Amino acid sequence: MADKPVLWITRRLSDATLARAQNDYECIINHEDGEHTADDIIAMSAKVDAILPCHSEVFRDRTVDELDPRVKIIANHSVGTDHCDIPALNERGITVTNTPDVLSDATAEIAFLLMLGAARRAVEGDRMVRDGKWDFWSPAFMVGKQVSGSRLGIIGMGRVGQAMARNARGFGMEVHYYNRSQLSADKEQGAIYHETVESLLQVSDFLSLHCPATPETTGLMNQTRFALMPDGAVLVNTARGALVDENALIEALKSGKLSAAGLDCFVTEPGGNPALSAHDNVFMLPHIGSATVTTRDAMGFRALDNLDAFFNGATPKDKL
Give 88-116 pLDDT, tens digit per residue.
999 999 999 999 999 999 999 999 999 99
Q: For residue 173, is pLDDT > 80?
A: yes
Q: For residue 84, is pLDDT > 60?
A: yes
**Catalytic residue status for 127:** no
Choice among 20, 151, 210, 287 that is catalytic: 287
**Catalytic residue status for 166:** no
Nearest-angstrom CA–CA distance, 103 and 161? 12
Choice among 55, 240, 296, 302 that is catalytic: 240
CATH number of 6-102+293-311: 3.40.50.720
pLDDT band at 294 (very low <50, low <70, confident <90, very high): very high
**Catalytic residue status for 180:** no
Percent of the chain with pLDDT over 90: 98
Secondary structure element (H or E) that encloses residue 303, with its range? helix 293-311
All structural domains of the chain with their residue ranges: 6-102+293-311, 104-284
Q: For residue 1, is pLDDT > 70?
A: no
Nearest-angstrom CA–CA distance, 273 and 40? 27
Summarised one tens digit per residue, pLDDT across range 7-61 is: 999 999 999 999 999 999 999 999 999 999 999 999 999 999 999 999 999 999 9
pLDDT band at 241 (very low <50, low <70, confident <90, very high): very high
Average the pLDDT over 239-255 and give the result.
97
Q: Which of 167, 107, 161 lies closest to 288, judged by CA?
A: 107
Torsion of CA 114, 118, 119, 123, to 10 degrees: 130
pLDDT at 3: 86
Cis preceding-peptide flag for 212 (omega within 30 of 0): no
Choice among 120, 174, 269, 279 that is catalytic: 269
Do 6-102+293-311 and 104-284 have matching folds? Answer: yes
Average the pLDDT over 66-93 and give the result.
96
Average pLDDT for the chain: 97
Q: For residue 187, is pLDDT > 90?
A: yes
CATH for 104-284 (3.40.50.300, 3.10.580.10, 2.60.120.380, 3.40.50.720): 3.40.50.720
Q: What 8-state DSSP symbol labels residue 183?
A: P
